[in-house]
Every structure is written in structure tokens, then in C-alpha cells.
Amino acid sequence: MAGQLNATGRKSSWVRNFFRVEHRLCLDKSTGTENNILSDVCCVILDTGVECGKIYKHVLRNGTKSLQNHLITKHDSVQAIREEIVLNKESLKDAIAKLIVAQNLSFTIVESEFFIDLLNLCNPHVDSLLVKADSLSDLVLKQFWISRLKIKELLSSVQFINFTCDLWTSPNAKAILGITAHWIDNEFDLKEILLDAVEVKGAHSGVNIASYLLTALEEFSLNDKLFCITGDNASNNRTMAQEIERHISSFKEDGNLLGCTGHVFNLAAVAGLKVIGYAVRDNLVTIEESEERDTEVDFNWGEEVEDETSDENFDPASIIDRVREFCKFVRCSPQRRNLFEDCVKACYSSLSFHSLNPAPIASTSQPDQGQTSTHGKRPAGDLLINTNSDKPARKSAKLDSLAASTPKSGKTNPNEKQKGRGRPRKSLPCAISDDINNLEKNSTQPRQRVKAMGLLLDVKTRWNSAYLMLQRFYDLKNAVILFSNRILESGDHSLENIELKDFEWEQVNQILELLKPLYAATVTLSKSKFPSLSTTLPVYMGMIKEIKSTSNRNPSLSATASAIIEKLEEYYRQAENKQVYIITSILDPGIKLQFFKRESNFRLIKKMFFDEAEKYNKHQEAESNITSESEDWLLLDLIFQRKTAENLESEIKSYLQEPTEDKNIQPLEYWLLKKDIYPTLGFMAKKFLAVPSTSSPAERAFSSGRSISLLYDHTR
């Protein structure tokens, strides 16, 4: 039995043929109570003639492993039903084409003797099935156009679709417009697809960009499905939206064009850093994705540097400029990189992105450990404003309960700060070899492979890059000091005017504390596996509150904090004037009206929400009612409409009177359970909760396809 195409355009697992999804009463081990939860139930008929009935908790994505194990171990007979894989020239050609596209490989790999040897190792009879690079290239291009037709068919049944778009310049100087589509399917699963990536020729004006976007909408028959577009805050995007409004009347520039929240946070960070002498340079490098973590690679220096020469605009009074110059000094020489790596190994036993575990070093005080950044399942984590602080947080959140309030946000206690480094040239070990020997002698644990990190540089086009540069620099403080000593001992005085003094290290820590909320919110909201727009307004206010608190603790940064807050408040005012932000927040069961209760226009907000819901209530009536030409129906229609209005009012009132949900309850999981109880609001949730808060999906597509010259479809 072959797997069917699911909403992503890919085949669903064969396992799904033997399980059905339904609500079952199950024991919650964390609370000891029985609750009604969404489950996968095995419907294989046993030899006795009864259904197996084994129950597993339903997982929306990638949740078939345990189900597959059950079928394999308990129901051998179903294995024969699995789709058999036949090895022939066409199936091998298709498999290699998928591999090349997914992994960004060269077509010529199929002609590599090493690749052929690998295939022969798997199957000695594969020689007669091999294909040439040109044949494979033709197949990929053919599959590309077939995929576009499949995408068009897939989206034909979707009622509302949102888009992100971003303009990017490729390494070979081509301007590429990336367009991603976002929607929620009938199972309340958030879907995302790369709709198009097209080369933009001519001026990058809003009108020109709009022409490419309109062409894509027309090709996929999506004009009447367009809801919102999320892009950066450039003026040409506003012009683009105005041009689209001229062609699609349901789209309004002032209400349906949303600014990328991540871009706003970056603008706020840069505005604040400029107060302390930070200037964005044009010759900076691209660093790894902000959510990327070091793996088994010994040292991660980011991508190679285009220009690491000394900056003629260098300001010795700027701490950030001096940090940048230090990073350039280390990175521009292989010998210095190697020396710095040795310094890191000498100072730390193991490293991760945000927390460092210092190793015992002879005659050295305990080094700083930096701050740990954690993000919960819900957007913005600790930054989400507490809407019901008098209720305790629960240990876990189950879909069946759906009655817990949003827990009080926890505050991370800052790590103790080292009072001063004293005279490091005397306190630190005198030789790298001695340092490593001391590590081995003093360590009570077996020596483990060091996962270490190199210094980073900030970049003009990467969000939070200044924060990441400073965070990495501060995390490796002991290694930086030790490296400076080694350079000075070698007779090189290049770092004497660059290295930081004791109080300046403390200033770096304070700057990081100020920027951390912006970084945390950007990383969390940029993830596309859950709705994020609903938390945007609370996150704005949460960050403003957090930055004010940090500023009060560090008065020397008050001007920097004021610049950040001013920028955030500017864009917050723009966002709160767009109904989509407010409606989406109210449709989030963890927020509802709690966030807006202190607003002076609270009554207007409630009325606006009800008026919007009425539109969808009438829309559903129009679809469900059977029209009749008989005059006898007129009176019944009036009665029915009055009854429906009363039902809608009751529906909204009941939803809003329910306690707000635990922050670990995902909105889409909530609405999957409640869609029949609140049909109109559930219909609205499918439309509004699919709107992305950032344009990062389009940008991620560029990150994964930097070296691709032939555009191809990529779905998730």
C-alpha cells in the first residue's frame, strides 16, 4: 500500500495506513489523572477478529517511529503490505536526483569513480544502471516543473495563504527574490513551502519587486488566497504592497503588510550600540546561523573573511571596535589562530555556545562563565508578559486539561562577575605546553575531546551579529587574556592599545545583558514550527520592560537603553495599529484579552474582535446554508441569522471566559481540540495564526542554497 501525498507534498508514512487519530482517555503519569488526549490507535485486526487497539500519543511531525516499531514487533503480517522498493535505472536515477537536490551536490558526482565505487559496494550489479551528469540535470529540471504543478494542486484547496519575501544578492552577484508560503491545514498543522526563488532584473524598486510577486501569485492561482505579506521594513516593501493593492483589492498595504520583527529587533540593537560608538561596517563577514551550535568540530571560526584588514574607521575609544580589531588580529593569520586555539584548550575543559566549563589551571582564579540562554517551546519564553501572575506554574502542560494560566515569567539570575583580572601576565601559566600538562595533571576525569570555539566577527546583513561577536569574546575571556600575554611575550605590541581593561570587561558584560532580550526574542520568533505573530505585541512590551530594568541596574548604559527603547516603541505603535496583531493575540489561548486589559481602548478592541468574527460567521453561513427561492424561507432565514448571531456571541464569550492556557500549550494543538466547540473562532485561527512574524523563512532558503545557480523547489 503506497503512502499518499500529505499537505507538504511528500508521501506520508506507510505506517499511517494502520493507525487512526482520535481522542482517547489516557493516564497522565505526571499528574496521576486520566485525561482525554489526541492519540494514534492501532486498527490492525488480530487473528481473533478484534482490533489491536494499542494507543500512542499523537505527534504532529515525525511521530511514526514508535508506531512503526509496534507494527514490526507485533504485526509481522503488515510488512508484506509495505511498498516494495524496486532497483532499476529509473528508481536509481530518481534517488540520486533527490540526493543531489537535497544536499546541494554537483551533478558530476555521478561520474566520480569514488561515488561509483560506493554504489558498487552496495550492489555489485549497479554498473548497468548508472547515468551521466547531463541526463541527471535534465531530470532535475523536469522534476522542478512537475513539482511546481504539484504545489499548485496542493495550494488549490487552501483558503488563506500568507507569504514572506526577501531580496538577496547571491555570491555571483545575482539579485534573487525568495517567496515562501505559509498556511494551516485542516489538522491545524502549520505548513511552509518555498514557492519561488526568481532572479530580479532591473531596479529594486517596489513596483518592480511587486511585478515578480504578482507573477508568482498568478502562476499558482493564489490572488484570491493572499492574506498577509511579511518582509523587512525597507521603504520599497511599502511601495511593493501598494502596487499589489492596486491589483488585488482584498489586500491592503496599511493592514496586510507586516514588518519583519527580527529586523526591528536588529534595528533597535544597532540604534543602541551606535550610542557607544558602534558602526556597521561594509567589509564584515557572514557568520553561522544564530541558532547553530558547535558540533564535534574542534574550532568554529564562522565563514571565511572577505576582508580582515585593519579598519581605517577604527575608534580606539569604542569597546566594540577594539573587540572587532582583536578578533581580526587573531583571525587573519593561521599561526595566530593556532595559538588562540591552544589558549582556549588551556583555559577550558569543554565548551558549548552559551556556557563554558573552566578547567582547573594552576595559579588562576575561576574564570567568568557567561550567561546561559534558554528558550522555551513558546515564543519569547521569559519575555512573554505574565497575564495571570497570581496562579502558580504547572510542572507540565497537557492538551486535555487546557485550563492552566500563563505561569509567572522566571528571571535568570546573572552569574557572579569576576571582580578583576588583576595582573594576568603573572597569574596565568607561562607556557601553552605547561597549561595543557597542568590540565591533564589536575583533572580527575579522563581527558575528553575539547569542543572549542574561535572568535567571530559581526556582519552588516546578519541579525544579532554584534551580540554574538561580543558574547563569544566574553565567553572566551581567559583565552583572550592568555593570548594577549603570549603575543606580548613574543615582542609583538600590536594588541597593547586594543586589549580591554578590567572595568571594560565588565562593560562588555553589561552590554550583553542589555542586548540579550533582543537576541533571545529574535531566535525564538524566527523559528517557523509554531505560530509566532500572536506573541509579538507582548514580546515588544516584555523587552522594553526588561531593558528598562537592566538600564536601572547599569546607569552608565541609560543612553544606550533609551535608544533601543525608542526604536522598539516606534515599531510597537505601528504594530498595534494593525488589526492582525491584535486578533492573532486574542486567538492565542495563552494570551486572549489579558494583555489588552490595561489598554485605554479595551472596549474598542473587544468590539473590533467581535466585528471581525461576524465576517467569518456569515461566511460559514453562506457555505452551509441551502438557498431556496421559496418566500416561506425568508422568515426562517431571519430567525436563523438571529440565532446564529446569539450563538457567535456565546461562542466568543465562552472562549474568552476560559482561563488562559499554560505557556507550553501550543495554540494549534488547542484549536485542533476546540475547533468543533468554537467553529467560527477555529476558522479564524487557521487564517490568523499562520501569519509569520519574521521573514526568516525566505532568508533560510538562501542560507541553504548559496551556491545553487539552478532554482529548484524545496518543501518542508
Per residue in 355-376, pLDDT tens?
Answer: 444 333 333 333 333 333 333 3
AA identity, residue 465: S
Rounded-to-integer distance, Cα 265 and Cα 519, Å: 8
pLDDT tens string 388-398: 333 333 333 33
User: Which residue type sits at 341?
Assistant: E
The answer to which of 117-121, 182-186, 267-271, 356-360 has the lowest mean pLDDT is 356-360
**What are the chain's domains?**
14-81 (no CATH), 89-145 (no CATH), 156-259 (3.30.420), 265-360+416-564 (no CATH), 588-688 (no CATH)
User: What are the grid coordinates assigned to 527, written together?
Assistant: 523559528
Dist. CA 193–CA 222, nearest whole Å:
14
Between 241 and 233, the higher pLDDT residue? 241
All cell numbers assigned to 548: 528598562
Distance CA 446, CA 440 (A): 8
| Cell numbers describing residue 197 | 526563488
Residues forming beta bridges with residue 21, ordered by sequence position: 40
Distance CA 1, CA 17 (A): 8
Of 441 and 127, the structure prediction assigns the larger pLDDT to: 127
What pLDDT score does 376 carry?
34
Are residues 57 and 40 in contact, defined by beta-carbon separation less than 8 angstroms?
yes
Where is pLDDT greater, at 295 or 599?
Answer: 599
One-letter amino acid identity for 424? P
Residue 706 banded pLDDT, cuts 50, 70, 90: low
pLDDT at res. 465: 87
Contact assessment for residue 179 and residue 692, using Cβ atoms and an 8 Å cutoff: no
Instruction: Read off the pLDDT band of 20 (50, 70, 90).
Output: confident
Closest CA to 387 of 584, 594, 596: 594
CA distances from 8 to 147, 184, 185, 190, 656 (A): 11, 11, 10, 10, 33
Q: What is the pLDDT of residue 23?
A: 79
Check pLDDT > 60 for residue 126.
yes
Q: Are 542 and 383 in contact (CB under 8 A)?
A: yes
Q: For residue 13, what are the CA distances in angstroms to 8, 61, 653?
A: 12, 11, 41
Q: Give the DSSP letter of residue 283.
A: T
pLDDT digits (tens, 9 = 90+) for 475-527: 999 999 999 999 999 999 989 889 999 999 999 999 999 999 999 988 888 87
Phi-psi region of 221 (alpha: psi -120 to 50; beta: other; left: phi over 0): left
Helix (H) or strand (E) run with residue 639 in it: helix 632-657
- Amino acid 27 reads L
> In terms of pLDDT, which residue wins out, 504 or 11?
504
pLDDT over threshold 80, residue 318: yes
41 strand-pairing partners: 20, 55
Parallel, antiparallel, or unpaired for β 356-358 and 175-184? unpaired
Buried b (16+ CB within 10 A) or exposed e, 679-696: bbbbbbbbbbbbbbbbbb
Residue 38 host element (H or E) = strand 33-42
What distance lies between CA 345 and its chain's CA centroid?
Answer: 32
Of 561, 531, 533, nearest to 549 (Cα)?
Answer: 561
- Output the nine-digit C-alpha cell for 367: 574564570
* Confidence at residue 228, expressed as pLDDT on a 0 to 100 scale: 97
**Is residue 443's pLDDT more than 80?**
no
Q: In 10 A of CB 562, how many CB atoms? A: 16
Average pLDDT, the chain: 76
The whole-number average pLDDT for the span 271-294 is 56
Q: Reduced to 3 states, what is the DSSP secondary structure of residue 401?
A: coil
Tell me the pLDDT tens digit for each residue of 33-90. Answer: 777 778 888 888 887 888 898 888 877 655 677 888 888 888 876 655 555 567 888 8
Residue holding cell 592599545? 497
> Residue 628 pLDDT more than 50?
no
Give this prediction's pTM: 0.70
Does residue 423 have a pLDDT over 50? no
